[in-house]
A and B are shown apart, each in its own frame.
Chain A
Amino acid sequence: MAKTRARAGRRKAAERAGGQAVRRKTRHGGARRLREAVVTAPITVPYVRYSIRNAHFFVGRALAALLEQSRLDKSDIDGLSVGSFTLSPDTAIGLTQHLGVTVRWLDHVPLGGACGIVALRRARRAVEAGDAEVVACIGADTNHVDSFRQSLASFSVFARDAVFPYGSGGPNASFAFLTSHYMRSFGATREDFAKICIAQRENALSYPHALFKKRLTLEEYLSARPIADPIRLFDCVMPCAGAEGFLVMTRERARSLGLPFARVRATCERHNAFPEDPIQMRGGWVLDRERLYGEAGVEPRDIDFVETYDDYPVMSLIQLEDLGFCVKGEGPEFVRRHTFTTDGSFPLNTSGGQLSVGQAGCAAGFLGLVEAIRQLTGQNLARAVPEARIGLAVGFGMITYDRGLCSGAAVLGRADA
């Protein structure tokens, strides 16, 4: 493949950039040991539509899966980061006793679609700073029959005061506003969104944990039950219960344990970006992408696959624009140019994304990241992206009123990339 040589060149450039970043850290860190944190042990607690178990069950089973995969003992875990909406009244601290773990670094990251990226970002710093050796990052939620309706009511003060009393469409109505505005502003059509949803379903057919296992046709997509115009059923994710997780540890530790790992080339997060925008047509990535790619030593064209936060297909378009794969407003054109299947021209959401796998609360904020780690470590459960070296996972979340407040992204690389 002609592409391979170009890649090798860029890889060297990237290593230089990455190496500089680590060296710079040592310079500022004085006598501190040079440490590079990596991600490993991607796990999933299989999703179910409804569960009678509490969130604690899913966090606990995720931790068990992490230990099983890494062959570590519980006592080896000295850092814990948990993202969950349904733990209430508990937070991460209650979980330490519930799960019987003693840690010296603890984080509670209830940031929905951004919690995986933020957890990784913070855990990486903790490991590199030496505050923890092995951090278990877990996103988990349960879903009882009525818990989605209840969580809408208590999601935020703004939602309770200024969204919930208006038809209780929850995020469906909010994203209907954005989708409708995006379509009018940039000429996107229902067929464009259909293409993304159908391609992701295609990708999901090879992913064992996807709740949707049936191929989606254009006709089915277009004629699905209307939810909030222009959004129909297959534009929406299915709330469910489940968990995702990974471990963050030093490269040396991962090596000595014989664990396949991915490198964290760069991460970014931004909250409440562009508060003066009348309606959300962009996210914080616009402010951070230059630094993100600079730190990662890559450009968008070097990225082999992307895991967007696809709570609605319009958000995938906005993320692809804001992260530099095309300019603002050219999302529809970009969609028409690519296939988005794992074996196609722009592999997107290679496990099917939330649209096909399901949205297990905060686990959805981990879904893309966990899939990216699997792809880059050769542990893929879904079909493999051919020769994947660099992957991008995107986080987006927390519609407390009229827009998603959190945005984040992580560029991950294969161990040798």
Chain B
Amino acid sequence: MIRPLSRPRRKNPLLRTRQPLLPPGGRSRAALGLTAAAALGRFELQACAECNAVQYPPREVCHRCLSGTLRWRPQSGLGELLSETLVQASHDPYFRERLPWRLGLVRLDVGPTLVVHLHGGCAPAPSRVRVGARLDKSGQGVLLAFPLEEVPNMADDPELHEMTCDPRFRKALVTDSRTPLGQAMVRALIDAGADLVWAAHAEPWKQAPGFADLLALPQVAPVPLDVTESRSVKEAAAEIGGKVDILINTAEVHRAHGIASRSGIESARAEMDVNYFGLLRLAQEFGPVMRARGADGVASATAWVNILSIYALANFPPHGTFSASKAAALSLSQCLRAEMRPGGIRVINAFPGPIDDEWNQTLPPPKLAPAALAKAVIQALKDGIEDVYPGDVAEEWLARYRESPKTLERELSP
């Protein structure tokens, strides 16, 4: 039986905010493969390239045949819960604050025995379970055993909830809510149970279609915010920064130009000003205060989402300057991720292919509907993953990029 999450009581502003702590985050290089897969929402273990033996804990050589070639392979995670315990005393400050903590010992069907975090819905040992990988608050991959069947209030298990960024009962800021994507994002957050969504808009005098309807929703509050103006960002952060649990940066300028198709750098500068410097301004004002609220109760600050582009991985010359601005933002997001980690704040990057909007008018389908992108972002929050590649185009580019970045570069050249 999982107790459903209940709406947190209004915070008493006189009480001290609990400081964020992290579970132990040290890992060997071999073990970081678990983290790399978990960041994408996958559960992978090393398998020997020669004898196929599945390994755990992660190793440098195969425990059976001593081969030096171990590859990370997706796993079903099916296995038997052999034993369990409820930890009621811990030396670690993070766990001490969260006791009791249920742990299990699982024998995977493919061989190894795993120490796992144990979801409250799992039947007592011995029982069948499915092990998955998640990122914990330290941002490192850990194993969590789930019941085979969905149980009521599955997502509300306290151990799982620590590893996800569920929008329920949380307050979110969408940094540009006028665009079709921004509006879809606001609605998706409300559907996911967000308490309050700040719908930011840069130019209040401009009427964007649909925006008035959005503001009529009871959970939505408008907030003026122009990410190209440092003062505007500072003012917004001063007003709401201490309450934002999830920040979704949808602010974007997108012009369909390469280098020679345009003279001068004005449109490229506008792209950088929003797509790169906008992120930097937001991160400087909102980042530190969010990071300080990483353990502020069940509705603590939890995630920062950047809507990047699959073009951040490899330049798409017809949209060359846009691609470059997104590549810059990707690089900065990695810096942001490192700086947010001490607060346990997850930085999620979405890498969509072309969105079905006016700036991709000339591109053929498939194009990603704004609502589909919003849905993928919500799912990423619920799963607590770091990188999401929504849509067929993004997945294909990713597959090509993984196989050979150089080949993809040539393929993208007209």
Contact = CB atoms under 8 A, between A and B. Distances in A.
B363 interface: no
Interface in A151-167: 152-153, 157-158, 160-167
Contact of A278 (B24, B90, B107): B107
B209 to A, nearest CB: 49
Given A152-B91, A180-B125, A184-B125, A173 B85 contact: yes
B230 interface: no
B51 to A, nearest CB: 15
A174 to B, nearest CB: 8
A111 to B, nearest CB: 20
Contact of A161 (B27, B92, B107, B136): B27
B113 interface: yes
A152 B88 CA distance: 17
A148 B90 CA distance: 12
Interface stretch (A87-95, A222-230, A246-254): A222-230
Nearest to A161: B31
B58 interface: yes
Of B30, B83, B103, the most chain A CB neighbours within 10 A belong to B83
Given A177-B84, A180-B125, A184-B125, A162 B91 contact: no
| B interface: dominant SS | loop
B89 A166 contact: no
- Chain A interface residue count: which class? 35 or more
B140 interface: yes
Contacts of B92: 149, 167-168
A218 interface: no
Contacts of A166: 103, 115-117, 142
A401 interface: yes
Contacts of B83: 176-178, 180-181, 184, 279
B136 A225 contact: no
A170 interface: yes
A230 B86 CA distance: 8
A343 B105 CA distance: 40
Given A167-B92, A168-B24, A176-B85, A162 B105 contact: no
Interface string B139-180: 010100000000000000000000000000000000000000
A162 B35 CA distance: 12
A176 B103 CA distance: 10
Interface in A273-295: 275, 278-279
Contact of A163 (B82, B90, B115): B115
Nearest to B58: A161
A201 B217 CA distance: 69
A158 B91 contact: no
Interface of B: 23-28, 30-31, 56-58, 63, 80, 82-92, 95, 101, 103, 105, 107, 113-117, 125-126, 136, 138, 140, 142
7 contacts: A149-B92, A166-B117, A167-B103, A168-B90, A168-B95, A176-B83, A184-B126
Interface of A: 148-149, 152-153, 157-158, 160-170, 172-174, 176-178, 180-181, 184, 225-231, 275, 278-279, 401-402
